[in-house]
Amino acid sequence: MPDYGKLLRLGTEVGRWLMLSGAEIYRIEESVHRLLNAYGTYPEVFALPNCLIVCVTTEEGESMTRMVRVSAKGTDIELLERTNDLCRRLCREPAPLDEALALVDGLGDHEPHNPPWLVLVGYILTTAFFAFFFEGDVWDAIAAGLCGLAAGIAQLYGKKLMGSNLFFRTALCSVLICGLSLFLCRLGLGHSEDAVTIGGLMVLVPGMSLTNAMREIMAGDIFSGLHRFAEVILVATAIALGSVLAMILGRVV
**For residue 168, what pLDDT is reported?**
86
The string of pLDDT tens digits covering residues 28-59 is 999 999 999 998 888 899 988 888 999 998 88
Q: How confident is the model at residue 74 (pLDDT cuts 50, 70, 90)?
A: low
Say if residue 10 is exposed, middle or buried (CB neighbours under 10 Å; 0-12, 13-18, 19+).
buried
Residue 199 CA to residue 194 CA, distance in Å, equals 8
For 197-203, what is the mean pLDDT?
91
The string of pLDDT tens digits covering residues 102-118 is 998 888 776 666 788 88
Q: Poorest-confidence range of 63-72, 177-186, 229-238?
A: 63-72
Residue 119 CA to residue 50 CA, distance in Å, equals 27
Q: Does 128 lie in the same domain as 100?
A: no
For 196-210, what is the mean pLDDT?
88
Q: Which of 52, 78, 109 is the last residue of a domain?
A: 109
Our count of domains for the chain comes to: 2
Q: Does 220 lie in the same domain as 192?
A: yes
Q: How confident is the model at residue 72 (pLDDT cuts 50, 70, 90)?
A: low
Q: Does 231 lie in the same domain as 139?
A: yes
Q: Which of 62, 81, 109 is the last residue of a domain?
A: 109
Task: Provide the mean pLDDT of the chain.
Answer: 86
- Determine the structural domain holding residue 52 and report its residue range: 4-109
**For residue 17, what pLDDT is reported?**
92
Q: Does 47 lie in the same domain as 122?
A: no
**For residue 253, what pLDDT is reported?**
56
Q: How far is CA 24 from CA 27, 69, 72, 208, 216, in A?
A: 5, 16, 15, 11, 7
The answer to whether the beta carbons of residues 13 and 104 sit under 8 Å apart is yes
Q: Poorest-confidence range of 93-97, 107-111, 154-158, 224-228?
A: 107-111
Q: Which of 43, 75, 109 is the last residue of a domain?
A: 109
Q: Does 88 lie in the same domain as 48?
A: yes
Q: How confident is the model at residue 3 (pLDDT cuts 50, 70, 90)?
A: confident
Strand-pair category, 51-57 with 63-69: antiparallel
Q: Does 137 lie in the same domain as 102?
A: no
